[in-house]
Amino acid sequence: MTLPTTHTERPRRARMPLSIWIVAVVLPLLVGLVAVAVQLAWLPELPEQIVVHWGPDGPDGYGPVWSTTVLTASVILGLVVMFAAILSIPRGAAPTAIHKFLAVTSLAVSLLLGVGVTATLGIQRGLDDLSQVPDITPWMLVAFLAALVAGVVAWFLLPKAVTPVTDPQEAAPLRLSPGERSVWIADTRLSGSAFVVIMLTVGLALVATVFAVVVSDGQGWPVLFVPLLLLVVCGAGIAWRVRVDPAGITVRSRPFGWPRTSIPASEIAAVQTSQVDPLAEFGGWGWRWAPGRNFGVISRGGEAIEVTRRDGRRFTVTVDDAETGAALLAAYAGGSPAA
């Protein structure tokens, strides 16, 4: 049996250093535990109904006292699971700057939530009249500063970031006979692990918003549009069709054909194949921008077609049998669009 030739082997699953797991998982879980413990210890001193939301003019959302503790525990746990899932996917060298950023964000967000939410309970201890609740703003600043300082310190304590290896190779143009009109069409869809992470993120956002709306007795229901919008945006980034023809390269979202992007053959300066690490280079999946004027449609790690335009902008699409597609595109590139 012949299999499609893979010219470069897929890199091995990345081994994150222990320090990344400590910053991304262990410390945030500790923060969550301490926050929940402190909140439970304060329970006897708290009124049954408490302020759970502050608007520009002071308290505007009320809920039962247990809701805050449940929210703290579930959101921090959910966030840690999400960051752990994302960090267990990458292949190749680690930790890259993006891996470090994810780990540091996990710690910073858990501190922001842990300190901030616990403080909202702390200032309500021993109060009978909820209108006497003091301003929360100073504590929010404290939480923000704690998150920022911990994030910066953790960043510098973590090992130095490595640059991802992409192994770009110039595509050998397919030999075309004069007048030949060939077409290359391939479908590409989100990898299973990426799909799980994205659904986890959207699910977490949805649960948190529904919880917030329920606890506040339906106030703030327009917030529900946020996860719904997220769902629609993610829906446009699950499957794509890549087409190379004499006119150039076109990538469309499926099944609606929109959003789409295309590059005319006459604008193409170079065509390469490369190995893409979605997190390290593009910080995720779907329609992505990366540093260095690189735009990409990233469905998974592995082989990709990389196009450089005449003005220096780059476009990357991950797709199976990239070598064949790149070879045909290279054959059409730079020429005038075929009539």
Partner 1 sequence: MLIRIDPGSGVAIYDQIAASVRSDASRGVLRPGDRLPAARELADALDVNIHTVLRAYQNLRDEGLIDLRRGRGAVVTEAAVTGAALVDAVRALVADARRDGVGPQTLIALIREEYPA
CB of 316 to partner 1, least distance (A): 20
Q: What is the CA angle 69-73-78, rounded to 5?
A: 145
CB of 59 to partner 1, least distance (A): 57
Stretch 291-320 residues interacting with partner 1 (CB under 8 A): 320
Contact region with partner 1 (CB under 8 A), list: 24-32, 53-61, 129-137, 237-245: 237-245
x/- map, 2-41, partner 1, by CB under 8 A: xxx-------------------------------------
Which of helix, strand or coil describes residue 235? Answer: helix
Q: Distance between alpha carbon 113 and the CA centroid of its chain, in Å?
A: 20
Does 1 interact with partner 1 (rule: CB under 8 A)? yes
The per-residue DSSP string of 63-103 comes to: EEHHHHHHHHHHHHHHHHHHHHHHHTS-BSS--BHHHHHHH
x/- map, 168-207, partner 1, by CB under 8 A: ---------xxxxxxxxxx---------------------
Give one word for 215, left, alpha or beta, with left for phi > 0 and alpha for psi -120 to 50: alpha
Closest to partner 1 by CB, 184 or 282: 184
- Do the beta carbons of residue 187 and residue 289 sit within 8 Å? no
Closest to partner 1 by CB, 245 or 281: 245
Q: Name the phi and psi angles at 55, rounded to 5.
A: -100, -170
Does 228 interact with partner 1 (rule: CB under 8 A)? no
The per-residue DSSP string of 246-263 comes to: TTEEEEEEETT--SEEEE
Size of the site for partner 1 (CB under 8 A): 23
Which residue in the set 324, 326, 332, 333 belongs to the binding site for partner 1 (CB under 8 A)? Answer: 324
Stretch 238-267 residues interacting with partner 1 (CB under 8 A): 241, 243, 245-246
Which of helix, strand or coil describes residue 335? Answer: coil
Which residue in the set 60, 167, 267, 321 belongs to the binding site for partner 1 (CB under 8 A)? Answer: 321
DSSP code of residue 282:
I
Q: List interacting residues with partner 1 (CB under 8 A).
A: 1-4, 177-186, 241, 243, 245-246, 320-321, 324-325, 328
